[in-house]
A = this chain, B = another copy of it.
Amino acid sequence: MWFVERRKYVQEENYVYETLYTLANGRLSLRGVDEFSNYKMPGTYVAGIYDKHDAQVTELVNLPDPLGISIYVDGEPLLLDKSTIKSYMRALDMKNGTLNSSIVLELTNGKLIQLDSQRFVSRSNLNRFGIIYKITPLNFSGKIFIENYIDNTTYNGKLDPANKIQHYAVLKTGEMMPGLFSLVKTYDKGHLIAIRTALKGYDSKGENILRYRKYRLIGNNPSEIYTVFIREGETFTLEKYGAIVTSRHSSEPLKDADANVGIYFAEGVEEELKRHTEIVNKTWELMDIQIDGDETAQLGIRFNLFHLYQCASDDPTVSIGARGLHGEGYKGHVFWDTEIFMFPFFLYTLPKYAKNLLLYRYNTLPGARKNAHQNGFKGAQFPWESADDGTEVTPKWGEDYLGNPVRIWTGDEEYHINADIAVSLVHYHIVTSDDDFMRDYGVEMLLEIGRFWASRVEYNERNDRYEINRVIGPDEFHEHVNNNVYTNYLAKWNLLKSREYYYWLREKYPDKFEVLKYYLGLTDEEVESWKAIAEKIYIPKKEDELLIEQFEGYFQLEEHEITEWDENGLPKWPKTVDLTRLGETKLIKQPDVVMLMLVLPEEFTKEEMRVNYEYYEKRTMHKSSLSPSMYSIMGLKIGDTHNAYRYFLQTVLVDLEDNQGNTNNGFHAASAGGAWQCVVNGFGGMCLEKNGELNFEPWLPEHWKSLSFRINFKGVPLKVTVTKEKLCIETRVEMPVKVRGNRFDLRPGKNYFELVG
């Protein structure tokens, strides 16, 4: 189950498959457009290349499309949309990180041509991509034309035509030896992007077939056109060499792109492909999950892991947007999705990328400090939507379906992102024991966030408590609420943790501590005040009951019973609801209380979890793709297995089945992280306990024969295999773990635990 296949070409499905077939290496991303289709939404993205120009907010820039190629037979370009498709097969090979296709087209004049191809975006050299075409005229010989070109007419907003915009100006285009180039510059930020491509072509004897060449500039697009003679039944090969170099990584992008392609062309594309494949194969050894007995789940989970990995970068100045590098949904912005949903996967399997995600926040601290300052707070306030510099980029206004302006409040009120980052920092430290990171970066962030919360809380003198009013929690149906429990609880926890790490640093790295304290202007007194505040932060909850109130006054809202579900098992709106007054009902988009208990499981008892899970599940509309996975995990935690598999499937197939209807806009990266958590924390039952140890309480769906996954805990790789009868944990070094709450010391090698009874 390594292949995501497409066996039929239906134009309407192109945009979705382009997302599914995106190839990326954490820096460069190419949406999986079919070069031989007229219905495509090309997307070329480089992590960190954002621009605003005339757009509403800063957004990830859609760069020139380097994939341009046309093959003309009898003067007409080959097009899937025009020819008869005699056979069609495209497949994402996730094992090797390539996009393969094999197509036979019949032209209107009866000529048959076979087009096979393999595309990759290199993990070995992050500026490179390559495509190998194998082309065979099946029933004719003759002259054809092959055109290689760079499309400099791409733009952002293809799915949102009223806001379409091109973020770059073309500075220079031309031919090089070999091939073509474009040099473009983004309007506001002045990023330079050099695009270089070149073709190599040879027949079955290895003879060069690209002998007659013309260079042309058509519009702004540089193009080279070759006249080629081909013979019936003989396969010829075209190799496309490509490099994209930006001023984020080079002081001379065009020169470097040219040098890069020069070497690449000389070495041959196969060499680069081999290096790329080796890296991807090795990564699978660290992150793969195997599910025996469920092909759908097996393919689904690998799909999610593969695309998460494709977004992961060594670059500490970029993070992962809500839709990955796969499309323009949410404009490439980074949300809490990264820390809360995606981060655990990286933390437990590919921790170096987890570290980089946190470093991105560190590198955007100046922007976060600016936000706090501008909003009248202290410390650092991380933005609800983040792009390249940490300043708030949430749009202020949207439009309803009638074109009326609608104020978007999340950028003003969804403060919990700050605590979400703090949670990631603390978990990162526990799971990796990376003291250096906390010393150099982590503690500074925790302290600045602590300061923010201390300045944000409001003292209610009458009740002698601290409140946080006029906020939005994860459940965005309810705006301007007071004392949202997700926000308040995490703020409280966050203040205590920030104080704890203040003393941790003083104890462990006194020199660094003094420098940082001086730099931030902190005093012990200020930090001690955080404890006082935390203790008095109000958590809305019914007296003597386990049920937590999502926010103050929630229990007084209108009740609407969900009675119908769609074919995906997702709730339909109760007929009694007025959608313009959702805030006055108990219906929620996603469950704040359940989320809180999953983010800090060590803080709650199973009974509390059960009571709240049951109460809120009935009222959750799952209007966020992040919601089902949370119910799946929580269900398994409290022993309610009946919905767990269904919710898991919704999560793991959200893109493969496009069950939210917007996969065209990009990969649901948070949902993918949620799918990993479903498997590892849900079915694998892995939980990080308060004492910093792992506990396993696995449960497998009826038809699963076995589940195995790999994690990395405190630097030790563990392989966990679960069957109905046994749990096996393989380790290289001794390590304490719990199984169903009972403590064991793992020995090097395989450790078995009986699960029956």
Contacts and interface: CB of A to CB of B under 8 A. Distances in A.
Interface of A: 11-12, 38-39, 54, 70, 72, 75, 77, 81-82, 108, 142-143, 145, 147, 152-153, 155, 159-166, 212, 214, 216-221, 223, 225, 227, 229, 401-403
A166 B220 CA distance: 10
Given A142-B401, A153-B220, 14 more contacts: A11-B82, A38-B38, A39-B82, A75-B161, A77-B161, A143-B401, A143-B402, A152-B219, A153-B219, A153-B221, A165-B218, A166-B217, A219-B219, A227-B403
A166 B75 contact: no
B161 A70 contact: yes
B218 A155 contact: yes
A57 to B, nearest CB: 15
A169 to B, nearest CB: 9
A623 B652 CA distance: 65
A64 to B, nearest CB: 10
A573 B38 CA distance: 39
Nearest to A219: B153
Nearest 4 Cβ contacts at the A-B interface: A153-B219, A72-B161, A145-B161, A145-B162
A681 to B, nearest CB: 37
Contacts of A108: 12
Contacts of A38: 38-39, 81
Contact of A216 (B12, B75, B164, B217): B164
A474 B108 CA distance: 34
Given A82-B39, A161-B75, A216 B166 contact: yes
Contacts of A221: 153
Given A81-B81, A153-B219, A219-B219, A225 B402 contact: no
Contact of A159 (B75, B214, B218): B75
A105 to B, nearest CB: 15
Contacts of A147: 161
A333 to B, nearest CB: 20
A686 B72 CA distance: 49
Contacts of A145: 161-162
Nearest to A81: B81
B229 A166 contact: no
B227 A160 contact: no
Contacts of A401: 142-143
Given A70-B161, A75-B159, A402 B219 contact: no
Q: Give the residue among A81, A161, A221 with the most B Cβ atoms within 10 A.
A: A161
Total copies of this chain within the assembly: 2
A395 to B, nearest CB: 15
13 contacts: A12-B108, A38-B39, A72-B161, A75-B159, A143-B402, A145-B161, A153-B218, A161-B225, A164-B225, A165-B216, A166-B216, A166-B219, A227-B403
A403 B166 contact: no
Given A108-B12, A152-B219, A221-B153, A162 B402 contact: no
Contacts of A220: 153, 219-220
Contact of A227 (B39, B82, B162): B162
Contacts of A155: 218-219
Given A11-B82, A108-B12, A54 B166 contact: no
A480 to B, nearest CB: 27
A159 B77 CA distance: 10
Nearest to A211: B403
Given A143-B401, A403-B227, A214 B162 contact: yes
Contacts of A77: 161
Contacts of A81: 38, 81
Contacts of A70: 161
Contact of A403 (B160, B162, B212, B402): B212
Contact of A229 (B72, B162, B402): B402
Given A229-B402, A403-B229, A54 B161 contact: no
Contacts of A402: 143, 229
A221 B220 CA distance: 10
A142 B11 CA distance: 25
Nearest to A158: B75
A536 B526 CA distance: 120
Nearest to A70: B161
Contacts of A162: 72, 145, 214, 225, 227
Contacts of A219: 152-153, 155, 166, 219-220
A44 to B, nearest CB: 14
Contacts of A11: 82
A213 to B, nearest CB: 10
A276 B310 CA distance: 61
A164 B159 CA distance: 31
